[in-house]
Amino acid sequence: MAHNLPIEGFRRILGDKGITIEQDDIAPWLNDWRGHYQGAAAAILSPATTKELAACVRLAAEHGIPLVPQGGNTSMVGGATPPADGSALILSLRRMNSIRAIDTSANQAVCEAGVILSVLHDAAEAAGRRFPLSLGAKGSATIGGLISTNAGGTQVLRHGTMRGLVDGIEAVLPDGSIYEGLAPLKKDNRGYDLKQLLIGAEGTLGIVTAATLKLVPAITHSATAWFGLGSPHDALALLRALEARLGPIIEGFEVMAAEPVGYVIEHVPNTRAPLAQLAPWNALIEFDLSNSGEGGRAQLEAALGDLMTDDTIQIHDAVIAQNEAQARDFWRIRETIPEAERAAGFPIAFDISVPINAMPDFMLSAAEACTARFAGTTATSYGHLGDGNVHFHVRAPADIADRSGWLKTSGEEIRHYVHDLVVAAGGSISAEHGIGQSKRAELGRLSSPARIMALRAIKAALDPHGIMNPGKLIPLASEA
Amino acid sequence: MAHNLPIEGFRRILGDKGITIEQDDIAPWLNDWRGHYQGAAAAILSPATTKELAACVRLAAEHGIPLVPQGGNTSMVGGATPPADGSALILSLRRMNSIRAIDTSANQAVCEAGVILSVLHDAAEAAGRRFPLSLGAKGSATIGGLISTNAGGTQVLRHGTMRGLVDGIEAVLPDGSIYEGLAPLKKDNRGYDLKQLLIGAEGTLGIVTAATLKLVPAITHSATAWFGLGSPHDALALLRALEARLGPIIEGFEVMAAEPVGYVIEHVPNTRAPLAQLAPWNALIEFDLSNSGEGGRAQLEAALGDLMTDDTIQIHDAVIAQNEAQARDFWRIRETIPEAERAAGFPIAFDISVPINAMPDFMLSAAEACTARFAGTTATSYGHLGDGNVHFHVRAPADIADRSGWLKTSGEEIRHYVHDLVVAAGGSISAEHGIGQSKRAELGRLSSPARIMALRAIKAALDPHGIMNPGKLIPLASEA
């Protein structure tokens, strides 16, 4: 535990509502939802305004007290869990939850960091717009966390990651100064892009307090198709052929091996396969027909018909959803894969990316290499092929009774092995989820000296006392 | 002049072809094309490979010799001119001019930093693609310089600035280490985005040596329209109405006050006004109809017809170019404005941005405020309204005989005045051109302490010996 905490100083800044010191109230925020990390903290600070937050950071800086920013606490990599030694305080953004403005003319929303993603979705919809980023944790994840982890999801193909959806940013820097960059400037060449530096920094360079976010038009007409395919190569060829014929109307393109689809049909109630026969590979495609006029659907059907007879792409079968209910059923298969995977027994999961054109080969060759190297394992993948990002899963041999024991003994070796394959393919060991605590050592092991030097130099420059989200992202000296 | 230059050391790295020490050969590269800055340098280093360049940087770092990276030397702000004291050497990228690859499946080109923009345009076109960024200096400007200044142009509305067109980057950092980030990863959350940090850094954090750039499909069908409008507000309303009706097919949307259009008609041979009467404000719009099918042009004409009767937008008149020659004539008016402005006598030119929705008011109110404050001046603007970025020009009173004298006496006061208006509107004093030498003091005067602190800390962290493009971008202590 940290000594000499200026609790009363924080209370003067925040009032009684803004500080939590009862351990029972703090406890739910001390571990990550996956249960991999357990932290400790003497207090949660919950400022209601950017000024209060800045005053907290100044006081923390004076006393050298580390702060762990926390939004919805949905990190996949332990990025919002305080250190176990109790040296840090949690700084919660949950009271900064106002949508300050929605401007339908500029297609922008100004949100505080604590706004929950689904709340923004609803507000945008009520204004006839949408915020085109979504993910499973949307009911808990907050805008500040999504920015600080450069979140992705299934709409990245068309709309980009969070990095492309932030038009302006407000943040408190580690010295307590306020960086005021909310004004959305499409062109601004006044030196280093501090906005982009803070996006994806996992709270290690400052605390994002608000952002101006892009909105896009609501979708008024759409179509959803399911394709059964021979290989991931066919999936990528299909995507490219559709883009060439139909232009930028593909809102989502998810690829799934037969195995995870099979788990869904087996384990998730009320699901059924969209096609008569489950193909080795499957693509779920969402088309935005809002700007395609009356003939949009006919044009789409004609294009898909043409592709069925294109013998450069091995298409087993395909179907367009006949109504919204059927479209929802198709998407439910994709969305319940994580749940079905858990029901089938936890795999070792990788969140990885490689250059898009290299991904089909990687999906097959990495699976083959893994199962050859680790006897009895199975490996497969699903996800955002069009972004070069899939969730690659390795499963324990079927005859292993003690799976969690196996995960402990074989897990690290398999992790190293797969990450080495990713690096050899020019890829990233963290596509969507960030580094946090869980990938820090691997980042150190696998990064070039130039990258590590730059990360450390920037961290030390902006946070010289190391008070911003300690223990996250930056590899320790022993790890590089 | 710097003493003890290790010229022979550089020669050993570069060979005779890679080093220039004759002052006659160096002289053309010692000033900016506008003639505002005059530098000095004992040598130009011209590495042919990234490895040679890295070895030069290591040697320069050992001896504390500053390096000024130079591509086409087309900076608008003195960003590529060496210091006048001769303490630095020029590091030219001109020999690193290979297009390493064009991948039409991934829609990407891998270019070395010294590739000239128009050369990339031609290569992309030959491959049935295009690189969607262009500007007046395309015959000289290089990819490295365009990245280091986050260049813009007339296609930013649809395709973004250079920041959005770089998928991967290779750079030499100030210690001579090579940052290898050419692999184009659409999703990569391995910590701070070093790519975005280097883009727009004006060579002060390292030297960009190559990049993986986005290509887009070639335009197969297009249409060009000219609108006469009542005000910049009508122009923005027109843009929003077109976007809502037609979707993301607007490739360019340039707005021009009557005055600069009049200068073109008066001063540039073989130009004529597109409409019978010159309107107070004019919009030039380029539509990409490649994905609109057979009925695309009819649909566009119907939409424009509807808008003519929309009484919320004051449209004086409008015309769609009947053929390519007429479309080129329309664009020639926009493109020859700089030339016509020079023929009409140099104005004080501002490259500024404000939030898009604030721009119509700003264009009118800033012009009014300027002419009220500086008796006899005229002020007007043209440019990329849809990006919130216009070229705002203030002209000397008509009765001033000695314009260059007036520029010297009144120029700085007017510059401060206009920049103050921009900052009050939440805008940027550099939208496209960067800071370089010419806006450094104004950046210092007008930035928040948080921004200056962050810029300086990052610069000092990555370039502790200050050898990267000295005197550019970062305000001096006396300037903040």
CB-based contact A458 B192, cutoff 8 Å? yes
pLDDT for A293 equals 74
Q: What is residue B59's three-state secondary structure?
A: helix
pLDDT, mean of residues A140-159: 95
pLDDT for A3 equals 57
C-alpha span between B15 and A473 (Å, rounded): 42
CB-based contact A462 B457, cutoff 8 Å? yes
Residues A389-404: tens digit of each pLDDT: 999 999 999 888 888 8
pLDDT for A477 equals 78
pLDDT for B295 equals 83
Residues B162-189: tens digit of each pLDDT: 999 999 999 999 999 999 999 999 999 9
Contacts of A431 in chain B (CB under 8 A): 185, 187-189
> A275 to each of A282, A316, A320, how far by Cα in Å?
10, 10, 11
CB-based contact B188 A461, cutoff 8 Å? no
Reading the block at residue B89, the tokens are: 């050497």
The label of the residue with tokens 């820097």 reads A173
Which residue did the predictor score with more confidence, B279 or B401? B279
Q: Which residues pair with A253 in a beta bridge?
A: A285
CB-based contact A197 B192, cutoff 8 Å? yes
C-alpha span between B341 and B413 (Å, rounded): 21
Identify the CA nearest to A88 among candidates A1, A203, A201, A205.
A1
Q: Of A136-145, A358-367, B64-73, B471-480, which range is least confident?
A: B471-480
Q: Looking at the predicted structure, is the pLDDT value of residue A1 above 50?
A: no
CB-based contact A183 B103, cutoff 8 Å? no
CB-based contact A451 B194, cutoff 8 Å? yes
Phi, psi of A341 (to 5 degrees): -60, -40
CB-based contact B186 A387, cutoff 8 Å? yes
Interface residue B13 vs chain A (CB under 8 A): no
Q: Looking at the predicted structure, is the pLDDT value of residue B1 above 80?
A: no
Identify the CA nearest to A253 among candidates A344, A389, A357, A118.
A389
Q: Looking at the predicted structure, is the pLDDT value of residue B269 above 90?
A: yes
pLDDT for B480 equals 66
Contacts of A295 in chain B (CB under 8 A): 293
Cα torsion A186, A190, A192, A197: sign: negative
Residue in chain A closest to B289 (alpha carbons) equals: A247
C-alpha span between A479 and A472 (Å, rounded): 13
Interface residue A112 vs chain B (CB under 8 A): no
Residue in chain A closest to B175 (alpha carbons) equals: A450
pLDDT, mean of residues B450-472: 96
Q: Which residues pair with A392 in a beta bridge?
A: A350, A381
Residues B287-309: tens digit of each pLDDT: 999 988 778 899 899 999 999 99
In this structure, the number of other CB atoms found within 10 A of the CB of residue B401 comes to 7
In this structure, the number of other CB atoms found within 10 A of the CB of residue B322 comes to 9
CB-based contact B185 A428, cutoff 8 Å? yes
C-alpha span between A216 and A129 (Å, rounded): 6
C-alpha span between A336 and B369 (Å, rounded): 60
Reading the block at residue A289, the tokens are: 């027909």
pLDDT for B3 equals 57
Of B150, B188, B457, the CB nearest to A428: B188
pLDDT, mean of residues A97-126: 96
Interface residue B309 vs chain A (CB under 8 A): no
Reading the block at residue B294, the tokens are: 């057979």
* Rounded percentage of chain B residues whose pLDDT exceeds 90: 87
Residue in chain A closest to B456 (alpha carbons) equals: A461
CB-based contact B193 A178, cutoff 8 Å? no
C-alpha span between A271 and A135 (Å, rounded): 20
Phi, psi of B190 (to 5 degrees): -100, 50
**β-strand A89-92 against B166-172: which pairing, if any?**
unpaired
Name the pLDDT band for B400 (thresholds 50, 70, 90). confident
Reading the block at residue B254, the tokens are: 């340039």
In this structure, the number of other CB atoms found within 10 A of the CB of residue A456 comes to 15
Residues A414-427: tens digit of each pLDDT: 999 999 999 999 99
Q: Looking at the predicted structure, is the pLDDT value of residue A354 above 50?
A: yes
Residues A249-306: tens digit of each pLDDT: 999 999 999 999 999 999 999 999 999 999 999 999 999 999 887 788 998 999 999 9
Residues A424-448: tens digit of each pLDDT: 999 999 999 999 999 999 999 999 9
Which residue did the predictor score with more confidence, B119 or A33? B119
C-alpha span between A192 and A291 (Å, rounded): 37
pLDDT, mean of residues A150-169: 94
CB-based contact B179 A244, cutoff 8 Å? no
A474 close to A458: Cβ distance less than 8 angstroms: no
Phi, psi of A132 (to 5 degrees): -85, 50
Name the pLDDT band for A480 (thresholds 50, 70, 90). low
CB-based contact A179 B450, cutoff 8 Å? yes
Of B187, B428, B434, the CB nearest to A152: B187
**β-strand A44-45 against A89-92: which pairing, if any?**
parallel
Of A179, A189, A290, the CB nearest to B431: A189
Q: Looking at the predicted structure, is the pLDDT value of residue B87 above 50?
A: yes
Q: How many CB pairs under 8 A join A and B?
A: 237
Contacts of A180 in chain B (CB under 8 A): 448, 450
B99 close to B119: Cβ distance less than 8 angstroms: yes
Task: For B268-307, give the DSSP string.
Answer: STT---SSSS--SEEEEEEEE-TTS-TTHHHHHHHHHHHH
Of A103, A152, A191, the CB nearest to B443: A191
Question: Mean pLDDT in chain A?
Answer: 94
pLDDT, mean of residues B349-359: 94
C-alpha span between B428 and B85 (Å, rounded): 31
Give which of B192, B290, B429 to mutate to test A binding, by max A Cβ within 10 Å: B192
C-alpha span between B84 and B40 (Å, rounded): 5
pLDDT for A457 equals 97
Rg of the Cα trace of chain A? Answer: 23
Which residue did the predictor score with more confidence, B405 or B428? B428
- From chain A residues 284-303, the ones with a CB under 8 A of any chain B CB are 290-291, 293, 295, 299
pLDDT, mean of residues B22-40: 95
pLDDT for A319 equals 96
- From chain A residues 228-267, the ones with a CB under 8 A of any chain B CB are 240, 244, 246-248
pLDDT for A73 equals 96
CB-based contact A458 B461, cutoff 8 Å? yes
Give which of A155, A186, A216, A297 to mutate to test B binding, by max B Cβ within 10 Å: A186
Question: Which residues, 6+ apart, have CB-to-CB distance to A422 below 8 Å?
Answer: A350, A352, A354, A362, A366, A428, A429
CB-based contact B197 A199, cutoff 8 Å? no
Name the pLDDT band for B137 (thresholds 50, 70, 90). very high
C-alpha span between B197 and B455 (Å, rounded): 11
Contacts of B454 in chain A (CB under 8 A): 173, 179, 192, 194, 462
CB-based contact B191 A443, cutoff 8 Å? yes
